[in-house]
Structure 1
Amino acid sequence: MSGVAKPKLAVFAVAVAFFVFMLIIFVNSFPADYRIANNDIGKYLSTGSLMPLFHLSSELIGEVGVILRFIGACFFLAATYIFIKRNPISWSFLRKAVLLEGIYYLFNIPFIVYLIVRALTSPDASSAAILSYYGAAASYAAQILFVTPVFLMFYRSLSNSARDRTGIFSWGALAIIGFVFGLWIKHFMLAIYAIGISFSSTIYIVGSINSSLTLLIAALIMVIVFMPLYKKTSTDFNVKALGTAFIVAGLYATIYLAISLVNEQYMTWLSLIDWWTIILVVLGLTVFLRKILKFNADQQMTTVTEELTEKARLRNFGDGVLVITADVVKFYVEKGRFRKHRKSIREIPLAEVENVEQQENDLSIFWKD
């Protein structure tokens, strides 16, 4: 398997895991909504209180968000599949996936309002119940703040007809950071208002530390990795450090699942855990095993063309086409008419191509003497 195939397959594996995760939620959401509707309508008819209808409406609006997020997962899966099969990125599918993921969180706003109102209008509720209302509301609100703005800006950069690679890269990196922070706040708050932070036993100590720190550490590593880019002091970032961040992010669900096998309290809340993130360990290992990647955001396509063309001329390759991939520069030649898929007769390792960065996996450079 080539160096370019492994990262593609790892990203595709992430897309598959997320799709399966959302498919399960999508399928189970309809029976759950039916039960909620029966229960809330029954309470309204028996008590005349509008709170059950408030709850039902917030759940149904949230269901719209779930449907849109599932559709986004389908687009993400399709985009990654096209990427590994045909090489070019499907910008249309990727844009839709990013947009739907970003707006999904907004459909939780009615439920946030319901939780706050419920807490304020339940003076006889226990302290644990009040904590769960405010805790869940804070969790949903924080996820909106962490994820939605950066995803919408990422979508905007993808929608730009010029498709500035620097902007796409910057907002894409920020979207990943925001998403991991969103995962952290979700599971940290869940530990506070539902599972409980406890140091009464080794299992609870490990679980509490895992919920409090694992995803937070992963997000902070990503902030450090991409900091030079946002400070504009350098365009270099350490891929191994980024791989480490993905591994740490994937460890949260791995540790949680291991604990849930021996602890009933953790097993009870397993359905609310983003277990699909386990696959991030695979993505992280794939990224970690790669060398330091230098992303030169300022280098223009014309410069790349000129440098590669000149190197090809010096090697006396003759007329043809250069195709940049992740591991080599492939040089295709055919007498007469050029065919795109002609077998490569030369491969130049990127290490031998000085000061030239890969711009796109599907980049082709045509030239003639």
Structure 2
Amino acid sequence: MARLLDLSNELLLMIVAETLEVESRRSMKTRLSRLSLICKRFNDVCGRTLFHSYTLVLRRSWGKCFLTRQTLGQWNVKSIRARLEHLKSKAPFVRKLEIFDSHSECKADPQDVLPAMIILEVLDVLKTLQSLVSVTFKGFYRRHDISTFPVLLWDWLVAIKPRELRFEMEFMFPESLRRIDGVQLLAMKPYTEATNRIVQMQRLPSLYLHFPYRQHYFKFTPYDSLKSINMKGDILHAEDLPPKFFDFTQVPEADVRVEATFDVQLRLLIPMSHTPKYNIIQPPTRIHHFQGSWIEVSRRLPNLFAEDLASWDVVRNDRTVVLKRTPPGFQGSLSQDHLPDEEKQRQEQAAIDYYDELHPLPEVIEEPDC
């Protein structure tokens, strides 16, 4: 009688392929996890999907360690070492690695992200990952307490040469860092004057730059080797942007995409408040700034770009407007949602008025003087 171990690799892959045809990724991972327990060959086949992307958490403000059941919010060396051992056991399968760490609220814990006390142990495990193509450093950053990126960790990146490199938390980068060869895509969040040094040192063909929220925007200067760039930021609150802030005229062949958000709410209720010092009662008011904010943003857009937006595809979606530059010689139709559209504005105002009618503000009750 045939056994599972007697099946060819092709048949095993067919069984796994059937498992992958499920509605959700969560269901897929559950089924693959069960299949991987059947035998070593199934474990090897399923592991390439289960652990293709791996997140190593040092600290995180939510959740518990799946191995020790200890909270992830505090520095726990025992739990971290357990997670490192788990990553090491899955090393042959990992292609995309994300390292997550954030500042701890506990004063007794290390206050730096990626603290020096654990870096050597982390590196010992990272060196077992021989087939990485993507590395991401992710976490929460605090503007007043920015950690320095570990030089030893950067040297490891120089050695493995990942194709994609992402920094999704703010670091101070030492001056002594060397260029990492082989990288094709660099993501920098936030993109600031300090992190621009890494961007200009690498000069990669593909960039993803995310501007910091409610802070000064540093102007990006394109370079000849740039092939594609994706930029994102909230331009409503970036009031210090000079004219022609987005200037890509020196790289006419580059694929350019700018996602500009205007972070407002459709409607905002300000509740009745009482100021004891002056015995003043402020009535509840309703501020509708969504439509007005879009009008403000749409009028600013043409001045922020060095090129005429008539040759760009400009698509507004709720609180976001996406601008894509079309390639030279493009003959198709373009969206120009930033241009005034009185009919659409009337429809949006009618929807707001209808909401006000259904949700009237409460009446003000005068409070007697004491």
TM more than 0.5: no
**Higher relative contact order (CA closer than 8 Å, sequence separation 6+):** 1
Q: Which has the higher helix share?
A: 1
Normalised by the size of structure 1, how large is the TM-score? 0.23
Normalised by the size of structure 2, how large is the TM-score? 0.23
Q: Which has the higher strand share?
A: 2
